[in-house]
Structure 1
Amino acid sequence: MEKWFVSAKKADFKEIGRQFDIDPVIARLIRNRDVTGAKAIQEYLRGTIQDIPGPELLKGMKEATSILKQKIREKKKIRIIGDYDIDGVTATYILIKGLERLGARADTYIPDRITDGYGIHMPLIYKALEDGVDTIVTCDNGIAASKEIGFAKEKGLTVIVTDHHEVPFIEDNGEKTYILPPADAVINTKQPGCPYPNKNLCGAVVAMKLIWALYDDSHIPETEKEEFLELAAIATVGDVMDLQGENRILVKEGLKRLPYTKNKGLQALIRVTGLEGSRISSYHIGFVLGPCINASGRLDTAARSLRLLQCEDAGEAARLAGDLKALNDSRKALTEKGKDAAIQLIENTDLKKDLILVVYLPECHESLAGIIAGRIREKYNRPVFVLTKGEKGVKGSGRSIQQYSMFEELVKCGDLLDQYGGHPMAAGLSLPEENVSLLRKRLNEQCNLKEEDLIPKVIIDVPMPISYISTKLVEQLSLLEPFGKGNTKPLFAQKNVKAINSRVIGKNHNVTKLQLMDEQGYVIEAVYFGNIPEFMDFLSARDKISVTYYPEINRYQGRETLQVIIQNYC
């Protein structure tokens, strides 16, 4: 059962509408996203790259650029150690392309998910020493690798950490002591004392800021800096960063450029996924392009995705893009199988009673744990850890709800874990198999969630009559894009509408098409994509319903009609 709430934040919506030449409904939507004051509203509506902070504000940036400029001058060998997900792959690409442009002797290593695990490990340091590497630059990892980086320093390596994950800490009597790795420079907005205003940059944007700072010092044209915006957008959406302030501007600018990208790999991926000639949105990054880039790191090697981004030959790019799409199709089937197994386990055991779900699927491919955890979280609306049996012990990923900081709760279980890291909303971990049941017990015992925290909340932006919808209003909604975490797609609602002429359509019978009629007789087209049999049964038993919806313009065979997408009903 869901609970519906109306967002009731107040402002002079008519005056804001007049000032910025927008509908008062648009003004209300902006206020609901906590954007207040003329300057912030102006940036939200019309912000550009010129409005984002410079890289020099990042703590550690001055030291990192000074070190790298010297290493480039001295022709020292630099190795970039990335990560196997979308953020890590794009961050690695940005660093290698940028450093090579500056004349560096640089190469890359992205750890293999199965054989290496996450981040910088001892074998990677030994390999760097063996290969004559002088300097290691991490991206999207390293902040929690104090032991490994300490060892690298003992062996004479220079280490620069660029990361965005939470800084590990020890808590004593409510006081947190943060543990930074002993690197030569650390760039991470979450480290204590960093003045950079946006604490929610993804790893690829942190890497891009480092390259931008180096480009500025070398007087490289702005146009070359902007070539990284497409990758910054892909990583920001793909790593589920809040689309607020700077992040939203970066994604908006990147999306503008993506259909016209000069990157042959991205061109091929856009083509193979059927997006050529389309307006690419944050949805397409999150659910079409991004999963293909991620798929190689899950089922094969992330080096394949990096090769795609680096590819200069159109034929080779087409082959690689086709491989990634095929891998993603395979990943989808395996995910569905793992999700079904997890639901069976929860429904048929006492797991269902737990507020924190710890689901152990030994046979599941460990790379799918995070996706399955996300699906289970959606179904049960509670924090979920999905654990799988790896080559060495148990590995897993977690996905959380807003009321539960997954990373902070794992800190309290550190004695049970071999490794862990992440964010409030997502985390990765590894542990001995004998500690699985202990972890489940501890997480649930220390949990402060209440039953009401687990009830899904539907936040309605504006209770708006369907008769108010117009083409102009729908077009103005695009000013609020890109949508995603922290800048959700607006949700409208109306009570007591009659559902008429409902019918099931689609090759797979997965869409209900109908019309909604209000009490004054106004009619609008509507579609619903959820559980179709349940929805049709609901309609057949009632004269009137209440709906939440999103309006859009349906363009079909040269005709344009207003319609609403029904999101929830009661």
Structure 2
Amino acid sequence: MAKWFVAAKRADFQKIGETFGISPVLARIIRNRDIVEEDDIRKYLQGTVEEMYDPGLLLGMECAVEILERKIRENKQIRIIGDYDADGICSTFILHKGLLHAGALADTAIPHRMKDGYGLNEHLVEDAWEAGVDTIITCDNGIAAAPQIELAKKKGMTVIVTDHHEVPYEESGGERRYLMPPADVVIDPKQEGDNYPYKGICGAVVAYKVIMSLFRRLGLEKRESALLEELLELAAFATVCDVMELLDENRIIVKFGLSHMQSTVNQGLRALMEVNGIDKKKLSAYHIGFVMGPCLNATGRLDTAVRALQLLEAEDRGEAVRIAADLKQLNDSRKEMTDIFVKKAVKLVEESGLGKDRVLVVYLPDCHESLAGIIAGRVREKYYKPVFVLTKGEEGVKGSGRSIETYHMFEEMTKVKQLFTKYGGHKMAAGLSLEEKDVENFRREINAVCTLTESDLEERVHIDVPMPVSHVSMDFVRELELLEPFGNGNPKPVFAQKDMAFLSARILGKNGNAVRFTVLDDCGKRWEMMAFGDPAPLNAYMAARFGQEAVDRLYLGKTQDIRMSVTYYPSLNTYQGNTKLQLVMQQYQ
């Protein structure tokens, strides 16, 4: 069971509220996000695209656009090499469309997950050389591709790296030596010497900054303003899909993107919304991260990501809808396969003694390698431990890891990097390749170097405001919309009510994956409270604490024996034209 903590960060909430025309409760929530200075609060609430950072602040930008301008003038063939996830696909689209509008002779290549693996590889370099490509520009990859870039340079090609991942390093005597690839220029906010004010941007935002800077240099900014708006929508889409923190510049980008996507000119995005039944006017970061984004990602997982790029580049509505429908179907089958292997992974942890490890390494040889990251994320949610899921690939074993806040996955992997044939990532997620004989060695050694304590492995719920349900109103719920978009770094606020009386319960949904409770607030008013997800753990908890008979009576609507503390989020539920307040349960104890 997670531990609950009330955030106790101090500020003059009354004064903040008066300054910005918000309630003291909202001021408190913003303070809990570590947004303190008046200008930062203003930017959080009212930031505009004009406040995005100048692309010229990225180290290497001036050099990169100089090269690109020259290559365009000389009519040299440029190849964009992206990646097979949503960020890589969006980055490729942004660079390709931007370069074509700048007059470049440009094409694209996206690696195949199974045949090529992540990012730039030797055969992509050879293919480019044989096709007469003069310049390779990477996006969302390249920072860890030193040998492949060396090969391209030996063949006389120009290489521009645009990436956002951590720079690989070697550690000796407590000193880190960063291993930069031998490209003509590298643009990556995480490289040494880069002074870009916000390091948390995704690959597509880096790509967008390149096009913005190039247009500025070529005097195309005003003429291509509509195109830049379309490209910024895709940068926003990728920011959410790549689970970047929705703070600072990212928050501005995603707010802009969500607003503009409602009337997007991109046929692919329109079709994705259509086939998924998304109301454009209610589009949220949730829809991008959990509905539309997975459809793009599914192509890179089970097919080829080239299909997803074709969707974004489609100019005919009919073609876009056909591709989007295929992608949705592919994603539906991906979800079914994921559920099967999550069950297998949990069974392995429960029955093989793996559960005692602080870092879980689960080997599922017959699992499709593209599902490893999703499965790792689901297993992490269940056990609140760092998780690696390994699968048998065409060459050796491949895997993906998902981490917890207290564990820097990339740095921990670097401690045992001698076991990998390839690895990369950041604090919360990573990918790796190794030989099958080293699977057990990896499990043993990653646990041997692990310094996680018992308290590190306790999930913590940070309550923003302990607030009786009776304080919730329609106006307050609408005010909470000022905090959107929600996501990594800017989660939905957590409210809490102690000792709430539960009067009745009813299981809903065709899969029985929701419970509607009737609860009583501190003023004796009845409320509807929804709990989403498998109800079995909640029912088991109530039975253990109050007895099965009390739970049975609850489902018959005949009990007042059950009282629990809950964390919740208030929302509005509209059904058949009627809108009413509703509470969504998040945790219970």
Q: Which moved more, 1:557-566 or 1:188-197?
A: 557-566
Which residue identity does 1:37 align to in structure 2? E
Answer yes or no: is 1:506 the counterpart of 2:509: yes
Counterpart of 2:115? Answer: 115
Answer yes or no: is 1:526 the counterpart of 2:529: yes
Q: Deviations over 1:448-484 (max 9, x none)?
A: 0012211211111100011111111111100100000
Q: Supply the distance in 2 between the matched residues of 1:373 and 1:277 (Cα, whole angstroms).
A: 32
Counterpart of 1:318? Answer: 321
Q: Deviations over 1:506-554 (max 9, x none)?
A: 3333222122213331332211113324434617364321110000111
Question: Aligned match of 2:453 in 438, 450, 455?
Answer: 450
Answer yes or no: is 1:495 the counterpart of 2:514: no
How much has 1:223 moved relative to structure 2?
A: 3.1
Which residue identity does 2:27 align to in structure 1? A
Counterpart of 1:463? Answer: 466
How much has 1:410 moved relative to structure 2?
A: 1.1
Counterpart of 2:8? Answer: 8
How much has 1:185 moved relative to structure 2?
A: 0.7
Answer yes or no: is 1:169 the counterpart of 2:188: no
How much has 1:13 moved relative to structure 2?
A: 0.5
Number of aligned residues: 570
Counterpart of 2:554? Answer: none
> How much is the aligned-residue C-alpha RMSD, in angstroms?
1.2
Counterpart of 1:178? Answer: 178
Q: Deviations over 1:284-330 (max 9, x none)?
A: 01110000000000000000000000011111111101110010001
How much has 1:169 moved relative to structure 2?
A: 0.6
Counterpart of 1:354? Answer: 357
Answer yes or no: is 1:328 the counterpart of 2:331: yes
Counterpart of 1:566? Answer: 585
Q: Supply the distance in 2 between the matched residues of 1:467 and 1:475 (Cα, whole angstroms).
A: 16
Mapped contact 2:65–2:213 kept (Cα < 8 A)? yes
Mapped contact 1:549–1:567 kept (Cα < 8 A)? yes
Counterpart of 1:142? Answer: 142
Secondary structure of the structure 2 residue equivalent to 1:358: strand
Q: Deviations over 1:218-238 (max 9, x none)?
A: 222233312212111110010
TM-score, normalised to structure 1, is 0.98
Secondary structure of the structure 1 residue equivalent to 2:562: coil
How much has 1:188 moved relative to structure 2?
A: 0.2
Counterpart of 1:412? Answer: 415
Q: Deviations over 1:209-260 (max 9, x none)?
A: 0000011112222333122121111100100001110001101100001121
Q: Supply the distance in 2 between the matched residues of 1:154 and 1:505 (Cα, whole angstroms).
A: 63
Q: Which moved more, 1:478-487 or 1:224-233?
A: 224-233
Which residue identity does 2:240 align to in structure 1? V
Secondary structure of the structure 1 residue equivalent to 2:456: helix
Mapped contact 1:215–1:225 kept (Cα < 8 A)? no
Residues 1:269 and 1:18: Cα distance change in structure 2 (over 3 Å)? same
Counterpart of 2:210? Answer: 210
Counterpart of 2:254? Answer: 251
Question: Aligned match of 1:241 in 240, 244, 248?
Answer: 244
Mapped contact 2:273–2:280 kept (Cα < 8 A)? no
Mapped contact 2:268–2:311 kept (Cα < 8 A)? yes
TM-score, normalised to structure 2, is 0.95
Counterpart of 1:289? Answer: 292
Counterpart of 2:442? Answer: 439
Which residue identity does 1:149 align to in structure 2? I
Structure 2 residue runs without a partner (length 5+): 552-560
Q: Supply the distance in 2 between the matched residues of 1:457 and 1:78 (Cα, whole angstroms).
A: 49
Mapped contact 1:395–1:430 kept (Cα < 8 A)? yes
How much has 1:366 moved relative to structure 2?
A: 0.4
Residues 1:523 and 1:362: Cα distance change in structure 2 (over 3 Å)? same
Counterpart of 2:87? Answer: 87
Residues 1:267 and 1:11: Cα distance change in structure 2 (over 3 Å)? same
Q: Which moved more, 1:157-166 or 1:534-543?
A: 534-543
Counterpart of 2:570? Answer: 551
Q: Supply the distance in 2 between the matched residues of 1:266 and 1:30 (Cα, whole angstroms).
A: 31
Mapped contact 1:526–1:564 kept (Cα < 8 A)? yes
Q: Supply the distance in 1 between the matched residues of 2:247 and 2:231 (Cα, whole angstroms).
A: 19
Q: Supply the distance in 1 between the matched residues of 2:194 and 2:427 (Cα, whole angstroms).
A: 19
How much has 1:276 moved relative to structure 2?
A: 4.0
How much has 1:369 moved relative to structure 2?
A: 0.5
Which residue identity does 2:204 align to in structure 1? A
Which residue identity does 1:548 align to in structure 2? T
Counterpart of 2:100? Answer: 100
Answer yes or no: is 1:366 the counterpart of 2:362: no
Q: Which moved more, 1:276-285 or 1:88-97?
A: 276-285
How much has 1:501 moved relative to structure 2?
A: 3.0
Answer yes or no: is 1:57 the counterpart of 2:66: no
Residues 1:312 and 1:519: Cα distance change in structure 2 (over 3 Å)? closer
Q: Deviations over 1:261-289 (max 9, x none)?
A: 10111111110010144411000011100
Counterpart of 2:555? Answer: none
Question: Aligned match of 2:227 in 213, 224, 227?
Answer: 224
Q: Supply the distance in 2 between the matched residues of 1:125 and 1:305 (Cα, whole angstroms).
A: 22
Counterpart of 1:275? Answer: 278
Counterpart of 2:304? Answer: 301
Which residue identity does 1:91 align to in structure 2? S
Q: Supply the distance in 2 between the matched residues of 1:505 and 1:156 (Cα, whole angstroms).
A: 63
Mapped contact 1:553–1:561 kept (Cα < 8 A)? yes
How much has 1:341 moved relative to structure 2?
A: 1.0
Q: Which moved more, 1:314-323 or 1:217-226?
A: 217-226
Q: Supply the distance in 1 between the matched residues of 2:442 and 2:219 (Cα, whole angstroms).
A: 53
How much has 1:560 moved relative to structure 2?
A: 1.6
Residues 1:2 and 1:70: Cα distance change in structure 2 (over 3 Å)? same
Which residue identity does 2:563 align to in structure 1? K
Secondary structure of the structure 2 residue equivalent to 1:25: helix
Q: Supply the distance in 2 between the matched residues of 1:508 and 1:77 (Cα, whole angstroms).
A: 53
Q: Supply the distance in 2 between the matched residues of 1:545 and 1:184 (Cα, whole angstroms).
A: 61
Counterpart of 2:557? Answer: none
Which residue identity does 2:198 align to in structure 1? N
Mapped contact 2:2–2:458 kept (Cα < 8 A)? yes
Counterpart of 1:345? Answer: 348
Mapped contact 2:79–2:136 kept (Cα < 8 A)? yes
Q: Which moved more, 1:284-293 or 1:535-544?
A: 535-544
Answer yes or no: is 1:381 the counterpart of 2:400: no
Answer yes or no: is 1:515 the counterpart of 2:534: no
Q: Supply the distance in 2 between the matched residues of 1:309 and 1:531 (Cα, whole angstroms).
A: 35
Counterpart of 1:19? Answer: 19
Which residue identity does 1:567 align to in structure 2? Q
Mapped contact 1:396–1:428 kept (Cα < 8 A)? yes
Secondary structure of the structure 2 residue equivalent to 1:50: helix
Residues 1:363 and 1:534: Cα distance change in structure 2 (over 3 Å)? closer
How much has 1:494 moved relative to structure 2?
A: 0.7
Q: Supply the distance in 2 between the matched residues of 1:505 and 1:367 (Cα, whole angstroms).
A: 32
Secondary structure of the structure 1 residue equivalent to 2:510: coil
Mapped contact 2:469–2:522 kept (Cα < 8 A)? no
Q: Which moved more, 1:142-151 or 1:78-87?
A: 142-151
Q: Percent identity?
A: 56
Mapped contact 1:30–1:41 kept (Cα < 8 A)? yes
Q: Supply the distance in 1 between the matched residues of 2:428 and 2:522 (Cα, whole angstroms).
A: 42
Secondary structure of the structure 2 residue equivalent to 1:427: strand
Which residue identity does 1:69 align to in structure 2? E
